[in-house]
Structure 1
Amino acid sequence: MAKGLSLSAEMIAFAGRLGHDFQRPELLIRALTHASAGSPVRPHNQRLEFLGDRVLGLVMAEALFSADRKATEGQLAPRFNALVRKETCADVARTIDLGAVLRLGRSEMISGGRRKEALLGDAMEAVLAAVYLDAGLEAARAVILRHWAQRIDQVDADARDAKTALQEWAQGRGEAPPAYVEIAREGPPHAPVFTIEVRTEGGLSARAEAGSKRAAEQAAAKMLLDQVSAA
């Protein structure tokens, strides 16, 4: 991509929400360009996504290591996974309205790509790589800690995902792994809403809705875990 490109007003506003003033705006433009909108003269963000994932991982590992000096590797690993997984990156992307400036091809635009969790998570990682390449690790660390700080403070001491925790709970009672059943799927194809029910062998169940099956399953598992914890 040719240097000397300027950012649109929308991208400048996004950079403000992100908290970084790009000296090389072409990096941000590339980070916000999905493969569906890429071309030989308009590189897309997949390589940046690869790098951003590693930058985020290093900063998170350092932050968790420093935040709890008594934590074991077994305690730190699930917390780390909770903070760097695609769902968390997508959640951060939503808080700074990354979807509004994501550059998509026509097919992704039609299918609601600006709201897709995978696209938002990938683009967030790419943006972190763009900050790193633009100004170095300290600048990337500052951006990451700015947007992940509350999540670091609130990450559960045992941050295993809810489905894994529920399965271990069931196995501890001598039961088979919980079953997840799709009860309903509503809404347009580009923005579906799934209703998932989780059922245990012992007759317990809970339902939840979300924009993806995976998210709905996790939400249902968490609801059931909350129920059994309160019992």
Structure 2
Amino acid sequence: MTDQTDLDRLAERLGHRFADPDLLAEALTHPSALEGRPGRDYDRLEFLGDRVLGLVIATELNRRFPNAPAGELSTRFNALVRSETLAEVAGRLGLGDLLRLSKGERQAGGGARRANLENACEAVVAALYLDGGLAVAERFVLAEWQALFERDRAAAKDAKTSLQEWAHVAGRGVPRYRIEGREGPDHQPLFRVAVELTGLEPAIGEGRSKREAEQAAASALLAREAGSR
């Protein structure tokens, strides 16, 4: 069971002295830990933290890549806020060992479950935001994501790969591409391609080759879904 000493150590690791330590405890409380007892789990904080994290990451990407098109920013954004990335950060912070879980959830491996780590990471961001304001949350995110920004810069995935990974995590199946049209002379064609995912409206992209049009369509869909988060 996570005690006050554990919370103090985590707060030190986060670089923030909490005026309301209960917020940090709430951020580490899985729904199973309450088991019908009064109290608050991390669900509300996770909801807020998702939005705070998205704002900080999007703002930093806009600063780092002032000339990048929206599709590229969306590709980078999705790589930096996806489930695997959040679980990676949570792992560095040791959140899995600090999560307050029911005995059954703990025995079932809940401390290592990616969804739990992702939720706890976003909840911690929200706890920092509520206790210290946006500047505190931003300082934490930029510090913990610094290496991830550099890794993203060195090995940014193309839009089709990022869309396929996002679709897998979101349970949307495999992206399906189809040619909607072809215009122009043979030496300078313009392809129009649609990409479809289960449960979503198709997105359209254009390019001088089929691959370029597919990349544009994937970027358009990623940008649209990032905007709807």
Tell me the TM-score normalised to structure 1 length: 0.66
2:146 to 145, 149, 159: 149
Matches within 5 A, 1:25-44: 25-38=21-34, 39-44=36-41
Distance 1:159 1:138, change over 3 A: farther
Is 1:132–1:140's contact at 8 Å kept on the other side of the alignment? Answer: yes
Partners of 2:69 and 2:108 in 1: CA distance:
43
**Partner residue in 1 for 2:18:** 22
State the percentage of identical aligned residues.
43
Give, as a single letter, the amino acid of the residue that structure 2 aligns with 1:114: G
Q: Deviation at 1:78?
A: 0.8
2:106 is the counterpart of 1:106: no
Tell me the CA shift for residue 42 of structure 1: 2.1
CA distance in 1: counterparts of 2:150 and 2:160, whole angstroms: 17
Equivalent residue letter for 1:16: E
Measured in 1, the distance between the counterparts of 2:66 and 2:88 equals 27
Distance 1:82 1:75 in 2: 11
Native 8 Å contact 1:33 1:44 kept in 2:
yes
Q: SS at 1:41's partner residue? A: coil
Q: Structure 2 matches for 1:72-151, cutoff 5 A?
A: 72-151=69-148
Moved over 6 A (4+): 165-168
| Whole-Å separation in 1 of the counterparts to 2:104 and 2:158 | 36
| Structure 1 position 112, deviation (Å) | 0.9
C-alpha distance after superposition, 1:197-222 (max 9, x if no partner): xxxxxxxxxxxxxxxxxxxxxxxxxx
Q: Does 1:10 align with 2:6?
A: yes
Q: Per-residue displacement from partner, 1:120-147 (whole Å, max 9, x unpaired)?
A: 0100000100000001101000011110
Q: Using the alignment, how far apart are the partners of 1:99 and 1:161 within structure 2?
A: 32
**Structure 1 Cα separation of the partners of residues 55 and 22 of structure 2:** 24
Q: How far 1:157 moved relative to its partner?
A: 3.6
Q: What SS is found at the alignment partner of 1:60?
A: helix
> Which amino acid is 1:66 matched to?
R
CA RMSD after TM alignment: 2.6
Instruction: Name stretches of at least 5 consecutive residues in structure 2 with no aligned partner.
Output: 166-173, 179-229
Match of 1:49 in 2: 46
